[in-house]
Chains A and B, each alone.
Chain A
């Protein structure tokens, strides 16, 4: 069968032949494996598993109202709890308390005990497929509960340990949630405090800054601009007034100059006494005539000069008329220069100062005339003169006031100009401060809101209104062992036994290089044997037939034994299953 040039086609009969030839190789492994597995199935110690179901209750108050600060999916939370609970120390304590694995438990193999405990503990999620409220075509897995179970050799121990484990889960969960919310609250509190300090700092800085740059703050810019414009208009108006008044003053002065302060005194001879100024002009013309006629040291010339000088001595260095004339010219020049150049231009300044000097001189002249002349001479009694004089005095007082105002306005204008110019310089600094303050403020508000939320959440957890575990099914006392599945093991044993038998036959057949049956000879010699002589026993009988009968007999004996074993197991080992 294994030799030869051609591999003959295997037929059912060939397999039967092989099986008959190797019945011992089939039966012995079959019986051995069967016996071993059945023994194993019925001698394995029973394992009891108790289970507790813990319901995950959603928080009572809707999340829209209060959001808990405990984050993460339920599965994560449970897994995290599991890691916290199933620590070596915890497990070892439980093992000590409930006297688990009494034979093996010792400090040396503590780790082994812990490992086997971990294997015996099962934490399983109870998932429910729920439709997604937003997308109905999708479903999501929602964990609604979880189970904690422990496998032990007796139902009582299993129940006790499961109970302890489920309690641990409940307690640790509560603790963990409370700790977490408290931590969040305190963290947020500390953060709020820090931010309020930051805000105070900003506030101080801003106040100091504002104080320092009180009129230049960018927010005052538009006001400054308005003020500037207003002041400019005012200045313009005042200047116009001044000019008008000066013009009026000049006309009044010239009127005054040609008006005699005194009434005309007519002497008895009919001559009209001349006033000083009339005299002066007469004298001046006489002097001019004399100087053209005579030399300068001519007695007439000298006399005239003296007279003039005496007359002029009353009126100071120059005549008011001269000064006025000069003043008019200077003012025109100043106006012209101002139109062309800025205030700081040297020409403008020069003309300005000239005007100022001339005005001063004019005022002195008037004063001299009004006071000195008053003292020196008698009060003027010409009504026209007096009226003009009063008008002139009033005008001069007004002019003085207007000039003061002009000065003030100019100063103010410069001040506003300065403010407007400096605003952009401090603006960036100010903005930075203001922004920092606003940011801190916003952050503070946010944190403050969160802190309130967190405090609510803390109240939620401490008031046991948040998501919590509820032991809906406490650890029960298992009535029947969870494992081993003796029937299953036994049936598996049957399968293994068959496989083992067949395997052993196949292996033997594969390893076997011997000739089997006439077919092998046909394969080698291309002809069947001349004769096939069966095995003959010493009594001269065929052995084959007799042996053949033993195979079904042996098989039926095995089957009977097996059936009996199962029945017995059913009756004695699993009475509950039989019921």
Chain B
């Protein structure tokens, strides 16, 4: 983390004369993204978006690291490659969790992460990184756009983003289409040490998550503390039945004691 922060800081300084405050990717890993468009990312912008890289408070970063470690443990134990991240309702911090988890995993040197913005209703991943995608997942599924043209490197090593693009109301059909299935198959088989993280729409907004479920090895449910309704959560759990729920993330928590030992009776 410190290393990346320093690197980011260095990059920001080096970019000053041009006024762009661009983040440059590391030269050694550039080979991995031969076909990938690299987008420079502003650190202050990341901080504003609460994305790791911009976060200064170590406890938050540690919390994401803990999440990363536990998710990876379970994924590796079951040899899972695809992880859907969803939530009960909107604005629960699902996308932020996906992004920060992806960044955290990418920071481990032996993992590459592909973050797919599968929320075709309100794609938001690119907003967190602060770029506007020319093409999105929808373009691949509907218009036969080349996947290489769509992938974006947000300026973080070992992290590639497959951004989404809004519009249209056929999101669930598209997500359940054979082309999508093929894409997932291809993505998970392209790199052995790659984890594919899907940023899914909220469970209760439509049938997208349920329709897409067969493509997922596991799912992670983001619950917003003090906002998510208990009965809605129960309905969500019912809908997610059959999917391996890797666990939950309590987001925007106001709990004072963040230690886990508190809950192990």
By a beta-carbon cutoff of 8 Å, the part of chain A in contact with chain B is 2-4, 13, 16-17, 20-21, 513-522, 524-525, 527-536, 538-542, 544, 547-548
Contact = CB atoms under 8 A, between A and B. Distances in A.
Contacts of B233: 3, 515, 524
A528 B70 CA distance: 12
B71 A21 contact: no
B127 interface: no
Contacts of A536: 50, 55, 57, 60
Interface residues of B, number: 47
8 contacts: A3-B230, A515-B225, A528-B260, A528-B264, A530-B67, A532-B225, A534-B59, A538-B48
Contacts of B67: 530-531, 533
B48 A533 contact: no
A518 B251 CA distance: 10
A524 B234 contact: yes
B256 A548 contact: yes
A250 to B, nearest CB: 157
Contact of A514 (B228, B246, B247): B228
A532 B230 contact: no
Contact of A515 (B50, B230, B246): B230
B47 interface: yes
Contacts of A17: 254-256
A515 B228 contact: yes
A58 B246 CA distance: 96
* Among B227, B256, B257: residue with most chain A CB under 10 A: B256
Contacts of B228: 514-515
Contacts of B264: 528
B128 interface: no
B241 interface: no
Contact of A2 (B60, B220, B230, B253): B230
A521 B248 CA distance: 8
B250 interface: yes
A544 to B, nearest CB: 5
Contact of A534 (B56, B237, B248, B253): B253
Interface in B197-232: 220, 223-231
Contacts of B226: 21, 514-516
Nearest to B236: A524
B247 A527 contact: yes
Nearest to A518: B250
Contacts of A519: 263
A529 B63 contact: no
Contacts of A517: 225, 250, 253, 255
A528 B263 contact: yes
B230 to A, nearest CB: 3
A520 B258 contact: no
Nearest to B49: A538
Interface string B164-180: 00000000000000000
A3 B234 contact: yes
B122 interface: no
B190 to A, nearest CB: 27
B40 interface: no
B249 interface: yes
Main secondary structure of the interface of A (DSSP, over half): mixed
Contacts of B70: 530-531
B252 interface: yes
A535 B252 contact: yes
B50 A540 contact: yes
Contacts of B63: 531-534
Interface centre among B54, B225, B228 (most CB of A within 10 A): B225
B64 interface: yes
B60 A533 contact: yes
Interface string B99-137: 000000000000000000000000000000000000000
Contact of A4 (B59, B224, B230, B251): B230
Nearest to B53: A540
A420 to B, nearest CB: 120
Given A4-B230, A531-B63, A539 B254 contact: no
Contact of B223 (A2, A13, A521): A521
Nearest to A538: B48
A518 B229 CA distance: 14
A334 B251 CA distance: 158
Contacts of B237: 524-525
B66 interface: yes
Contacts of B54: 540
Contacts of B247: 525, 527, 529-530
A264 to B, nearest CB: 182
Nearest to B48: A538
B257 A13 contact: yes
Contacts of B93: 533
A524 B253 CA distance: 17
B159 to A, nearest CB: 19
Contacts of B66: 530-531
B97 interface: yes
Interface string B57-81: 1011001101100110000000000
| List of 6 A-B pairs having minimum Cβ-Cβ separation, nearest first | A3-B230, A531-B67, A530-B247, A540-B55, A529-B250, A529-B248
A535 B250 contact: no
Nearest to B66: A531
Given A515-B226, A529-B248, A533-B63, 4 more contacts: A3-B231, A525-B237, A530-B66, A534-B255
Interface string B133-163: 0000000000000000000000000000000
A476 B255 CA distance: 64
B71 A530 contact: yes
Contacts of A516: 225-226
Contacts of A520: 230
Nearest to A544: B254
Contact of B47 (A2, A532, A539): A539
A29 to B, nearest CB: 19
A532 B60 CA distance: 9
Contacts of B60: 533-534, 536, 540, 542
A527 B249 CA distance: 11
Contacts of A529: 223, 247-250
B56 A530 contact: no
